Amino acid sequence: MPSPTPEPARLQRRLGVVDSTAIGLGSMLGAGVFVVFSPAAALAGPLLAVAVAVAGVVAYCNAVASAQLAAKYPASGGTYVYGRRQLGEWPGFIAGWGFVTGKTASCAAMALTFGHYLAPGFATPLAVAAVVVLTGVNLLGITRTAQLTRILLAVVLATLGFVAVAALTGPHPAGGGAGWSAAADGGYAWGVLPAAGLMFFAFAGYARIATLGEEVKDPATTIPKAILAALAAAFVIYLGLALLLQWHLPAAQLAGSAAPLLDAVASSALSAGTPLVQAGSAAACLGALLALITGVGRTTMAMARERDLPAPLARVGGGHTVPFVAELAVAAAVIVLLLTTNVLTVVGFSSFGVLVYYAVANAAAFTLTDRPWHAPRWLNVLGFAGCVVLALTLPPASALGMAAVLAAGIAGRFLVLRRRKTRAAGPAAS
């Protein structure tokens, strides 16, 4: 008699509300907040705050859907798991593949941004070193990840507070936000949606809380609280920064800057604090990269458990019960990207993949029958529509690039399933 198939090793529940919220907020306040305002301002102009608000509304819808689903399915993998359970294997695979590929590229962007802020001449070697070190931290266990995330988050919040004070104190030589062309206001109105799509890149970190569902204590209560708390804090910070940057910097400088927060301090009475902003930016990138590697590794593990990725990626082991094979595979993929890409090309790419991921989350949440009062079905419809619209209005290169990656993943899974079916039918036919 054949021996029963052993149950896959499970992760341990060690994260409370504070740690979970810190991981989510640390993911959101990463490299995105230091780079995304400029390309968004170039598209939305004086309507930048509107773009932030649109992105925030879509993010809220997604957060509510994620909280509903994570409370019901407290397992690693996030929307990959939710899509499979509520909608079927294919929607789950599309969500998981979009997340893994888009966020792997985001890991490379975070690492490169860290290198550019710390020492531009050695950006790539520093980025590779950061990936290696933070992967090592993750391999020490999820509690070490949470501890380091809290430290980095404190540094980032202090840095953003300093930027806000610098922007408020001035001086404001350009009159604060002057220089937007009145004749172009109509064009800026058309740019609000693509700008919101780019801003969504900076909101997407709360997904990390859901992907760590198997490691959260009392997930039905903890996950919804942590997701909504992290999102609310990030929205207030982003909206405040958008208004301050528009008031403090000339339009052309804000739209064309590679480091708008650094420019805001450099052009203020507190310009001597520029090195502090550089250090805080580097810490932000490290915090986001740490949480990203963790989340992508867990989703990779979940997909491998369902045989949508190679089975060895599902192995959990070591003294700290971590998915070490998946973590190492993600790190290797990120290092390859570091040697072949640049930081500016992946923001839209990642946004498209994550918007697809959350479109599946909203569709899955729509099918739930047990619903809290704050999660009506129309909110899921609004979230789904918002994700689709923002994804389709992103710059064409980003949308087409990610669409090609998604198509390649779908084709690959189709071929693998077909081969498995053929092999299974062979012995039966004989």
pLDDT computed for residue 223 by the predictor? 76
Contact 246, 227 (CB under 8 A): no
Contact 92, 84 (CB under 8 A): yes
Residue 322 pairs in a beta bridge with 317
Q: Would you say residue 430 has pLDDT above 80?
A: no
Out of 37-51, 138-152, 267-281, 388-402, least confident range: 138-152
In a domain, 103, yes or no: yes
As a whole number of Å, the end-to-end CA separation of the chain is: 23
Query: For 331-357, what is the mean pLDDT?
Result: 82
In a domain, 238, yes or no: yes
pLDDT computed for residue 20 by the predictor? 77
As a whole number of angstroms, the distance between CA 228 and CA 410 comes to: 32
Alpha helix ranges (H) inside 140-273: 142-169, 185-190, 192-203, 207-211, 219-248, 251-256, 260-266
Q: Return the closest-CA partner of residue 284 out of 158, 161, 156, 163.
A: 156
Whole-number average pLDDT of the chain: 81
Q: Which is more confident, 37 or 430?
A: 37
Q: What are phi and psi of 121, to 5 degrees?
A: -70, -15
Q: Would you say residue 182 has pLDDT above 50?
A: no
As a whole number of angstroms, the distance between CA 240 and CA 44 comes to: 16
pLDDT tens string 64-122: 898 888 778 876 667 888 899 999 999 999 998 988 888 888 888 888 888 877 777 88
In a domain, 1, yes or no: no
Q: Would you say residue 319 has pLDDT above 70?
A: no
Contact 191, 340 (CB under 8 A): no
Q: Return the closest-CA partner of residue 135 out of 352, 305, 351, 294.
A: 294
Q: Return the closest-CA partner of residue 35 out of 274, 345, 259.
A: 259
In a domain, 137, yes or no: yes
Number of domains in the chain: 1
Range of the domain at 312: 17-417
Question: Across the chain, how many H-helices and E-strands are there?
Answer: 19, 0
Q: Would you say residue 218 has pLDDT above 80?
A: no
Q: Is 249 left (phi over 0), alpha (psi -120 to 50) or beta?
A: beta
- CATH code: domain of residue 24: 1.20.1740.10
Q: Would you say residue 185 has pLDDT above 80?
A: no
Query: For 243-262, what is the mean pLDDT?
Result: 82
